[in-house]
Structure 1
Amino acid sequence: MLQPALYARFLQGLAMAPRRAALRLDRETYSYEAVHETALRWAGALVSGCRQPPQAVGVLAGKGIEGYAGILAALYAGAAVVPLHPDFPVARTRRMMEAAGVSALIADAHGLAAAARIAEGDSDLPVLSPDGPDDGRFRRITVSRRTGLHEPLPVVASDIAYILYTSGTTGRPKGVPITHGNTHHYFTLLDSRYDFDEHDVFSQTFDLTFDCAMFDLFCAWGAGASVRPVPAHAYRDLPAFVAERGLTVWFSTPSAIALVRRARGLPPGGMPGLRWSLFAGEALQASDVVAWQEAAPGCTVENIYGPTELTITVTGHRWSPATSPARCVNGLVPIGTVHEGHDHVLLDQCGEDSDSEGELCVTGPQMAAGYLDPRDDEGRFLRRDGRTWYRTGDRVRRMDNGELAHLGRLDTQVQVRGWRVELTEIEHALRTCDGVEDAVTVARPGDNGTELVVFYTGTRVPAAELARGLRTLLPQGMTPRHYRHIDVLPLNSNRKVDRARLALAAREQPLPG
């Protein structure tokens, strides 16, 4: 039965628009027919080239044909896809592969070089690398039309579609297996929420190891639309890139807006071709939405939210210039309502149900059954009322219209000299100070307990002046003592603000008051 299969999304696009572009890369355009035939050949090679049909296939590649067709080929082979990044630390990637049971790799040339370091001389690892050199270090899988599949292998809803990794509090990544059933519910819901069609061109800003990349691929492919990767240099003149590539659907982290704004790249009416603009992965500032929509006046903007464990996104708020600004909390756009078919509760600090504010816990068809290692489930997957719930670790507030507002991570609420401090509230106050464009607040241990350190962009402002301005907005106990001006807030590979890097910098380097 193909219906619950994630790859059925691609087959749907193939049936709608076989000769239309499924992928538009810098130098090559690949039609649905071409990608389908490539994936079938590679899937057949995986099945015939391994001693046993692989249960999990690692895709160690960037945003080229190997990465995109590799994901599809692994799915066609009935295996779970494990996206891997060639530039991630070797030990980390090795642990991921071992935990997921990866028994074969699809790699581009860059990934093949990384695989040599990861495998530690294990020349028996089957590797499919169409363009990589065959230097004898691996058991190379040969691709031929003779071994290609005629159609994808069947799967059932409970089979794992992909495995992604999140950061773990134990210091090792936690594997999240998402089933075909999880994705089937998710994308069926999105089909009714959006009007994507075969004329759309989707941006693809996320790394393939980030679950939001699955949104790009399988929303586009389910509609017969095209996917266009966005290179780093595109942000220097985003309106030009959007126009030249014909983008109609944009999806990124909110940090991308700040990146473009710094380059003065959001002129009014500069991106008239965008129909949809979606943001996820971190808190979305109302001021950024206003600036973005001025540049793309014809688009609908949504703030969508969800951890990997709940299949990409599980809530959404559609921005309305008339009503949304009044519903923002700390200058942040609401995350909206929980997807149909799911239940949610808010737990207060004592673990009791709260009607108004607390940790968001969700259960429903998009929820993963648990982590690859059941030991990681403790503290995240909760049993109550005979059901399993996922604890998101996010503090939210339920508003009078039933929507949820994101207040921050549980671990962003800290105690400073007896004050319970929400870091996002301080950041919102900082953005109202003259000269400050954006700000991140982190906590570090000090001689007299926890102290707060601010990193901000914009015009350099004397620390005393910033502190004086904040004291008009915040209680004195919440006012940070340390301020550091930086040119740009650091971003990780998925263009989210790298708070961990800033927290490390605050701990390691002495800061003036």
Structure 2
Amino acid sequence: MEPLGEEWISRDEIRATIAAQLGCPADDVADHDDLIQLGLNSIRIMALAGGWRKRGADITFAQLAAAPTVDSWYGLLGADTGQSAPQSPAQAPAEPVADEEPFPLATMQHAYWIGRSDEQQLGGVAAHLYVEFDCAAIDPVRLERAVADLVAAHPMLRTRFLPDGTQQTMPTPGKPVYSVVDLRGETADRAKTALNELRYRKTHQRLAIEDAQVIDVTLTLCDDNRSRLHLDVDMLAGDAMSYRVLVSDLADLYRGGTIAPPGYTYRRYRTERRSDGAARERDRQWWHQRLPQLPGAPELPTVAVGERRAPHRTVRYDHWLPPHAKDKLIAGAHARGVTPAMALAAVFADTIGGWSADTKFLLNVPLFQRDSVHPDIDRLIGDFTSSIMLEVDVTERMSVTERSRAVQRSMYESGSHSAHSGLEVLRDLGRHRGEPVLAPVVFTSALDLGELFAETVVETFGEPVWIISQGPQVLLDAQVTELRGGLLLNWDVRESAFPHGLIDAMFARFTDAVARLADGDAGWDADATVCLPSDQATVRAAINATDGPVSERCLHQGFFDHAAATPEAPAVVWGVDDDAGAWTYRELAEHALAVAGALRAYGVGSGDAVAVQLPKGRTQIPAVLGVLAAGGTYVPIGFDQPDARRAKILQTADVVAALTVDGADMGTSIPCVSIDAAMAYREPLQDPVIPSTDQIAYVIFTSGSTGVPKGVDVPHSAAMNTIDAVNDWFDVSGKDRVLALSALEFDASVYDIFGMFSAGGSLVAVDSEEKAAATTWVDLLRQHRVSILNCVPSMLDMILELGGNRLGDSLRAVTLGGDWVGADLARRLARQVPGCRFSGLGGATETAIHNTICEVVGEPPAHWATVPFGVPLRNVRCRVVSPSGRDCLDWVPGEFWVGGANVAAGYRNDPVRTAERFFEHDGIRWYKTGDLARYWPDGTIEFLGRADHQVQIRGYRVELGEVESALRTVPGVRHVVAAVVDAAAAPKLVAAVAGDPGEIGDITTAVAKLLPGYMVPTRVVFFERIPLTANGKLDRRAVVALLEPEAAELQDGGPRSDVEAAITEIVAEVLGKESLGVHEDFFALGGDSVLATTVIARVRDWLEVDHAVVADLFAARTVAGFAARLENREAARGTPERLALIARHYLDVAALTDEEVLAEG
């Protein structure tokens, strides 16, 4: 560092400065004492670094924090480096700029100002602090004079905020800032009601900042001896330290004191102070390099925006830590080399991480720091707040002490680059992602700012009985404040944004963990990770207490038992009218045993795999029964299966024979057995083979993520567990009939066949031609008096669409699975078949058809778009697990794991994939489904989509299931598929929707109320019917193939009017672009809130549009949309042509060269 003076800075001066910060004698600070352990915190270290930099020292916060001792700092600041002593503080310029001129907003002020707009995400509220004091009788006249003197002494209390994003100090506020409410004549009940109404209104009010109303003082006269003082301050005018100054000055003035106006102003601080350009650029570059790796905000469970009852309402949760507990906590932190603020931040981070879907996230940490540019700087009211984006990773398990140190290291690292503020980092991140980025979870430590209310304040105005703050674009603001000698821990929360009970659980965990730190070493040594709360663990234990009878029968055993007991009962029926037919249990048993005899003749032995490739229809039934009766394992293959895929299945499954149609050729040496010949085989088995229930009953092949089909080995015991559980749930008996709609290679068919035969019921077979005709399904259902319908949701949708009065009254239970189950299906079914039971079942082939059930009793809740998974079936266990293997808390999404008697043996001949998905723990076999789910507090499990349906859009992780769920809530929507197209270039989120467009309306606008901007599809395409797979599920691949050509966005051509042309030029100049299309997204092009403010200022000035506001650009996002908003407003004012004329004039002038402009002049 270059010499700055003739005297070296001494150890004693450093020591004295530190002692002054700590409030102790200088002799108590030894050369090698750890200053953090002595009580020096990060805020004070930042202040010291800033002060020494102002005096010319080349020193950073990181350097001081890395070695917090007097000796080390002397090495950095003193003679050991050969540097000269810093000079005394630079004096502020003697002549201030005229106070009446507007001046720019500070970074935090700008964020507050932007966020007040209703159009902003999480906007529509003011940043303000509202407090009520209960006090003895206050003289209204004296208080009025005190308020007037306070406003006169502090310019920021009479500063207005202009539409162009500047602020201007006025002689007096344009709106009243003082009022009196007289309740002395009211009854106690009426007075209480009036006070509550006043509290609610002021808690959520937005003062008229455009008229310099930034403070609101109301005095309520309760009776002759008691008053209540209401004090509301907009944080645009002052930060937390300013609030302390303000309320203390007000108390002094009321008590008869006088205060001289500070000799310096906030306006001068903002306009005259020069920042270190080199440091700002250095820190900007540091953050810029980190942008691609920076995490986002915590992914807390939230309620869709459109479902929030009171989106602007803020609720305070508070807990007071008494002085003795505070002292113990502080001592414990210092003993471990961490600041109390960082210890509390660590506990907060772990609490947030426990409920966050992602354990890496950013916390928004405000800083209160004033550069010492004037002796009166601490007397000023103004916003001196900065912020740091604190990067947190709570993935690894560690003690609270270790987490505190890790958070402190992260804070020091970020703090050493704080010349580029946290809000500027968010703007950079927004430009990087092409979408405004928020950091709505805030941790505010006001430790070492002193008591929130000085002793004179409490003596004058009484104890505070209500304290709450609000902030725009904030969901949760956690604050730590010194109050009454202890610590006030409070969270100000947009409560309706979160599921009921969530914040209660989070805050209880936070305060409990803080209290344990004050109790001693055990709290510091404890695991920092949030564990499943005891009440949640109790509910889950109860929900998963599903032990019950375990089936000891094989799949086909029940059928042959009933064939012996009731041989003439109908087993399979088919056809309509003259084409109708039936097999009795005896006839079907004869066919099945004949098939078994034929297979035995071909060498099929116990446990051998036999392929079944037949057209959909009744002959499939004796085929699978025959395979099982022969002691084999059946492997269903779709009749239209491509040759290559079929060959892979045959090879993987170790198939030894195939049941198929006459003349079929498998293309291999595997013998093909004609089903017709097999059913007529003259040497049937006398009795079916009944193997061990552990033997594999069937192998069903599903699509693999690599494109190679994977075969799931399902033992008899697993399938029978599901069948018995479902049959018992619905009291299935020999009187029941099921309509067998599902393809044989889809495991829902396993229940259709063996669920009925286990109970002695009948199966209504559907042939391949009938499977494609929904009208025939309705005819079959009615003619054969089907009582149970087990299918995918899309099939029920088609039946209900056609049914009307044709469904009859036989249907008593509907079970749906295999895809999202729309809640509207339950409502429609209830209208057409009153009294019919309706259930959604979660499941996977790997868990033997089904694993959970949710029966909808009565009308499903209005907010349900889909039916949840529900609860585990008998002998099934369910977990929702985080990436680190911990049980997720209520409402927190994680991977859905299923364990118990229904879990498959694994993947056929694929030990690697089997080991990846299946495992045993505590004697239970588990399967990792790859589904995303979450628990509700009542133990209900909600399906959220597939983990492999998570995509990245503009740097955000988007779950397509969440997008689809939101789209399903729009009236008229029946089916939805969301997808990403053009992934290789610029990924775009699009959606296919089936339904009635007349009911859907502007679906994008509707969904924008439910989802953040980056999750709203850029295009929604309507289909009369979304393509289905052979199994009746929505065919996502086919939909994506259809959407790809549709995804080409509108050509971003030139402007279509003079207004669009003028705005295009302004926006392009602000963004530094040569050109841009009128449909291009302002934020995707690199725009942010500051640049949006610049655009609006120029539009207001150059195009004379006094009604243009920043919110317009945020809402419209494109030149075309922005222009339309302005033109519509002009038309509503009765001046439809004015803006076009001004735009034309602007374009004419803009086209002139400088010389031509001078010549025109």
TM-score (norm 2): 0.40
Task: Quote the Cα distance in structure 2 between the aligned partners of 1:306 and 1:102.
Answer: 26
The equivalent residue for 2:376 is: none
Cα deviation, 1:64-113, whole Å, max 9, x if unaligned, reads: 3431101000000000011111201111111111111111111134xx43
5 Å-filtered alignment, 1:146-157, equals: 147-157=683-693
Task: Quote the Cα distance in structure 2 between the aligned partners of 1:220 and 1:469.
Answer: 44
Q: Call closer, same or farther: CA 1:474–1:103 in 2, change over 3 Å.
A: same
Is 1:119 the counterpart of 2:667? The answer is: yes
Amino acid at match of 2:562: G
The equivalent residue for 2:17 is: none
Q: CA deviation at 1:495?
A: 0.9
5 Å-filtered alignment, 1:338-377, equals: 338-356=872-890, 357=892, 358-372=894-908, 373-377=910-914
Q: Please, which of 225, 246, 250 is the counterpart of residue 789 of structure 2?
A: 250
Amino acid at match of 1:405: E
Is 1:37 the counterpart of 2:593? The answer is: no
More displaced 10-residue stretch of structure 1: 419-428 or 405-414: 419-428
Contact 2:607 2:695 in 1 (8 A): no
The equivalent residue for 1:318 is: 855
Amino acid at match of 1:211: D
The equivalent residue for 1:138 is: none
Amino acid at match of 1:419: Y
Is 1:165 the counterpart of 2:707? The answer is: no
Q: Call closer, same or farther: CA 1:443–1:384 in 2, change over 3 Å.
A: farther
Task: Quote the Cα distance in structure 2 between the aligned partners of 1:505 and 1:229.
Answer: 33
Contact 2:604 2:657 in 1 (8 A): no
Task: Quote the Cα distance in structure 2 between the aligned partners of 1:207 and 1:142.
Answer: 21
5 Å-filtered alignment, 1:226-241, equals: 226-230=762-766, 231-232=770-771, 234-236=773-775, 239-241=778-780
Amino acid at match of 1:157: T
Task: Quote the Cα distance in structure 1 between the aligned partners of 2:636 and 2:814.
Answer: 25
User: Helix, strand or coil for the counterpart of 1:265?
Assistant: helix
Amino acid at match of 1:390: Y
The equivalent residue for 1:69 is: 622
TM-score (norm 1): 0.88
The equivalent residue for 1:216 is: 752
Q: Call closer, same or farther: CA 1:12–1:470 in 2, change over 3 Å.
A: same
User: Helix, strand or coil for the counterpart of 1:209?
Assistant: coil
Q: CA deviation at 1:417?
A: 1.5
Q: CA deviation at 1:388?
A: 4.2
Task: Quote the Cα distance in structure 2 between the aligned partners of 1:46 and 1:185.
Answer: 28
Task: Quote the Cα distance in structure 2 between the aligned partners of 1:30 and 1:265.
Answer: 29
Structure 2: tracts of 5 or more residues without a match: 1-550, 1051-1161
User: Helix, strand or coil for the counterpart of 2:916?
Assistant: coil
The equivalent residue for 2:681 is: 144
Is 1:96 the counterpart of 2:653? The answer is: no
Q: CA deviation at 1:416?
A: 1.6
Is 1:332 the counterpart of 2:866? The answer is: yes
More displaced 10-residue stretch of structure 1: 407-416 or 484-493: 407-416
Q: Call closer, same or farther: CA 1:104–1:143 in 2, change over 3 Å.
A: farther
Q: Call closer, same or farther: CA 1:148–1:241 in 2, change over 3 Å.
A: closer
Is 1:106 the counterpart of 2:659? The answer is: yes
Is 1:192 the counterpart of 2:731? The answer is: no
Q: Call closer, same or farther: CA 1:19–1:391 in 2, change over 3 Å.
A: same
Amino acid at match of 1:476: G
Is 1:300 the counterpart of 2:849? The answer is: no
Task: Quote the Cα distance in structure 1 between the aligned partners of 2:604 and 2:957.
Answer: 58
User: Helix, strand or coil for the counterpart of 2:655?
Assistant: coil
Contact 1:266 1:292 in 2 (8 A): no
Aligned length: 490
Cα deviation, 1:398-443, whole Å, max 9, x if unaligned, reads: 1122111111111223232233323233233334446644322112
Contact 1:266 1:291 in 2 (8 A): no
Q: Call closer, same or farther: CA 1:18–1:237 in 2, change over 3 Å.
A: closer
Q: Please, which of 812, 819, 834 is the counterpart of residue 282 of structure 1?
A: 819
Q: Call closer, same or farther: CA 1:509–1:75 in 2, change over 3 Å.
A: same
Comparing both chains, which one has the higher relative contact order based on Cα–Cα distances under 8 Å and sequence gaps of 6 or more? 1
Q: Call closer, same or farther: CA 1:58–1:449 in 2, change over 3 Å.
A: same
Q: Please, which of 779, 802, 805 is the counterpart of residue 265 of structure 1?
A: 802
User: Helix, strand or coil for the counterpart of 1:492?
Assistant: coil
Q: Call closer, same or farther: CA 1:386–1:75 in 2, change over 3 Å.
A: closer
Contact 2:821 2:867 in 1 (8 A): yes
Structure 1: tracts of 5 or more residues without a match: 133-140
The equivalent residue for 1:24 is: 573
Task: Quote the Cα distance in structure 2 between the aligned partners of 1:368 and 1:472.
Answer: 42
Higher helix share: 2
User: Helix, strand or coil for the counterpart of 1:222?
Assistant: helix
Q: CA deviation at 1:292?
A: 1.5
Task: Quote the Cα distance in structure 1 between the aligned partners of 2:963 and 2:599.
Answer: 52
Contact 1:239 1:271 in 2 (8 A): no
Task: Quote the Cα distance in structure 2 between the aligned partners of 1:466 and 1:47.
Answer: 60
Task: Quote the Cα distance in structure 2 between the aligned partners of 1:78 and 1:341.
Answer: 26
Cα deviation, 1:260-304, whole Å, max 9, x if unaligned, reads: 35xx42436844210111101011111111101211113111111
Q: Call closer, same or farther: CA 1:275–1:153 in 2, change over 3 Å.
A: same
Task: Quote the Cα distance in structure 2 between the aligned partners of 1:44 and 1:436.
Answer: 52
Q: CA deviation at 1:142?
A: 9.6
Q: Call closer, same or farther: CA 1:224–1:350 in 2, change over 3 Å.
A: same
Q: Call closer, same or farther: CA 1:403–1:127 in 2, change over 3 Å.
A: same
Contact 2:787 2:812 in 1 (8 A): yes
Q: Call closer, same or farther: CA 1:171–1:239 in 2, change over 3 Å.
A: closer
The equivalent residue for 2:741 is: 205
Higher strand share: 1
Task: Quote the Cα distance in structure 1 between the aligned partners of 2:571 and 2:813.
Answer: 19
Cα deviation, 1:146-201, whole Å, max 9, x if unaligned, reads: x2111012301221111111111121111111111212322332342221222221
Task: Quote the Cα distance in structure 1 between the aligned partners of 2:758 and 2:925.
Answer: 30
Task: Quote the Cα distance in structure 2 between the aligned partners of 1:450 and 1:423.
Answer: 13
Is 1:57 the counterpart of 2:619? The answer is: no
Between the aligned residues of both structures, percent identity stands at 29
Amino acid at match of 1:287: D
Contact 2:1019 2:1047 in 1 (8 A): no
The equivalent residue for 1:14 is: 563
